[in-house]
Chain A
C-alpha cells in the first residue's frame, strides 16, 4: 500500500469535475419532480445534450456555444416529453422510458460523423490571486466555468424554492395540482417550463461529459449516469443541498476508489467498486430520516376538467 502516491490536491480537484455532470442532471430533475412530473428520460436527454453540444462545439470551434447547444438540445427533447404528458396526457413513466430509448437512438444517429473527432478544448478559468492560494487555489479556483455554473445553479434552485414566489407556485403545483389550478395558477405551463429546465440541465450535464470530462463523442457514452442522477433526487428527498452532497459523495467516492486501487490499497476491489453506490445511498437514507416525502402530485396526470 502506498497512499503517498495519491496527491490530495489533484484528487479533490478531479472530484469537483467528476461530480459536475451528475449534479447538473440531478438539479434539473429536482425541479421537474418538484413540479409534480416524473421524467425518467434523463439518460436520453443527457446523451442528446452530449452529442448536440459536441457537434455544435466542433462546428463553431467554441465550447461555450457548444454548451448552450447542449442545453438547447436537451430542452428540445424534453419538450417532446412535455407534449406527450402535458398535452396528450400520456403516462409519465412510459413516456419517460420512451424518451430515454429515443434519445439514445437519436444521439447515435446524430453522432455518425463525429466518432474520433476532437472537440475544441474548454479553457480552465485562471482566476488571478485566488488561483494562486496554496491548497485551496488548485482545489477550488482552477476549474472550467461549467463547474461554477453547476454550483450556481444549485444555489439558485435552492434559493428559488425556499424564498421566491415562483418557487412557492412550483411547489404548490407539485404538491396539489387541483388546488393550484383552483387558485388560478397555470399548472400545465408551469410544468412545461419545469420540464424544459430539467431538459436543459440534463443537456448541459451531457455536454460536460462529451466536451470536458471524456472529451470525445462515443455512442452510449453516458453509460447509465442519467439513472444515477434520477435515483439521487429521490435519495436526496427532493432537496437541493442534499443533491449537491449526494453528487459530491458519488463523484468523490468513484474517483477515490479508482485512486485507492491504483495505489494498491489492501481493500478488495469488489468493495471499492460498489462503494460509491453504497456510501451515497447510506448517507442520504440516514439523512432522510426526517420524514421528508415526495411531492404529493408526483407522476399524476393533470387535466383541468377533473
Chain B
C-alpha cells in the first residue's frame, strides 16, 4: 500500500516536472496516438497529415511525437501515459476506442491537455472533436443510389458505434430517395484496419451482387477488390484514395484535421485552451468531398455537388423528416431536423434498412 502510494506519487511528480520542464523551454510538445499505421492510406494517414501540418506551421516552436498502431483498450492507456510522462503538453488520441483510456490518463495529468477524436466524454482537460462524416455519406448515398444497376449496395462497417450507424443511415436515406428499389447489405468487420479481411468482405459483397461498395474501414483493400471485379463502384474513406481514380473510386470523403490541429496547438501555446466539444462538417471544411470523377454521369455529379452546397450552407440537413425508425415508429416529423444529441448517440436504423445492428 505504502509502496503503491510512493510509486504513484513518483509517477505524478515525474509527470509534473516533465510538463514543467517543457513549459520552461519554449517548445510545445504535441503527441498523437494512432490506431493504425500512418501508411494506411485512410484514417490514420489523414491524422498524420494534420501532425505534419502542425510541424510545418509552427516550425521550431513545436515538437511532435506520435505512436502508431496502438490497440484500442487497456494497452492504449499505457501508450498515452508514456507520452504524457515524456512531457507532451497536448495529446490527440485519434480513435473512438481510446475514449476511456484518455479520460483515465487525463485524470492523472491535470496539466496536460487531451483531445479525443469521435468520442463523447469530456473533462476539464479533455476536449472532443469529430467531423460530421454523415454529411459526406449523404452525398455518397445519392451517387450510390444513382449508380447501382443491381440495386444492391454493399457496406463494410467496422464497429457498431453511433458514428458508423449514422453513416449507414445517412447513406441509405439518400440512396433510397433517388432509387426506391435500393437495398443495403451490411458486413460488420469488427476491425478498423485489416486489409485481408476488408478485401474478403468486399469480395463477399460483390459475389452477392453488390455493384457499389461503401466502406467505413481504414485501408484501401476494398478499392483493390472492386478494381479486380471490374465493374464495381467505390468511394474513398477518410482519405482521397486518389490512386484508385477515376474508377472504381468515383468520389471520397476526406477528413481534414489540419486547421483544427493548428488551432488547438496555438491555443495551448497561448494558454487559451479550454475544454470543448467540436463537431464540424462540410461547411467549416473539416469534411471534404474528393473529386467526383468522369465515371459518374454529368447530371448525377451536378446533383451531388448541389447537395454538397446545400449541406455546406446549412440550408439542408441530411437527417430531415419525415423519417421513421426501422421499427416503424416516428422519428422526425415533416421538415424537422435531427438534434445533435440523438445523432451522437444514434443506435437505431431508419425505416427500410433490412438488417439488424449487433447489440
Contacts and interface: CB of A to CB of B under 8 A. Distances in A.
Interface of A: 5-7, 10-11, 14, 18, 21, 108, 111-112, 115-118, 209, 213-216, 218-225, 254-255, 258-259, 261-264, 266, 268-270, 273
A153 B358 CA distance: 40
B196 A225 contact: yes
A215 B69 CA distance: 21
Interface of B: 36-41, 69, 154, 160, 185-188, 190-191, 193-197, 199-201, 203-205, 207-210, 219-221, 224-225, 227-228, 242-243, 354-356, 358-359
Contacts of A221: 195-196, 219, 221
A118 B242 CA distance: 13
A18 B204 CA distance: 12
**Pairs of residues from A and B, 4 with the lowest C-beta to C-beta distance, nearest first:** A219-B37, A116-B243, A219-B39, A269-B358
Given A115-B39, A218-B195, A259 B207 contact: yes
A139 to B, nearest CB: 13
A111 B196 contact: no
B105 to A, nearest CB: 24
B188 A261 contact: yes
Contact of A213 (B193, B199, B354): B199
Given A219-B37, A254-B200, 14 more contacts: A5-B209, A14-B207, A108-B39, A118-B224, A214-B221, A214-B224, A216-B221, A218-B220, A221-B221, A223-B195, A263-B208, A264-B355, A268-B358, A273-B190
A116 B220 contact: yes
A216 B69 contact: no
Contacts of B225: 214
Nearest to A4: B208
B193 A255 contact: no
Contacts, number: 115
B37 A108 contact: yes
A18 B200 contact: yes
Nearest to B210: A262
A23 to B, nearest CB: 13
A269 B356 CA distance: 9
10 contacts: A14-B204, A116-B220, A213-B200, A214-B196, A215-B224, A218-B39, A255-B204, A259-B207, A261-B186, A269-B188
A50 to B, nearest CB: 10
B187 A258 contact: yes
Contacts of A269: 160, 188, 190, 358
A144 B186 CA distance: 29
A11 B36 CA distance: 30
A223 B187 contact: no
A262 B225 CA distance: 16
Contact of B154 (A112, A262, A264): A262
Contacts of A112: 39
Nearest to B202: A258
Contacts of A21: 196
Max chain B Cβ within 10 angstroms of own Cβ: one of A14, A115, A222, A262:
A262
B203 to A, nearest CB: 6
B222 to A, nearest CB: 10
Contacts of B187: 258, 261-262
Given A5-B209, A115-B39, A214 B195 contact: yes
A116 B41 contact: yes
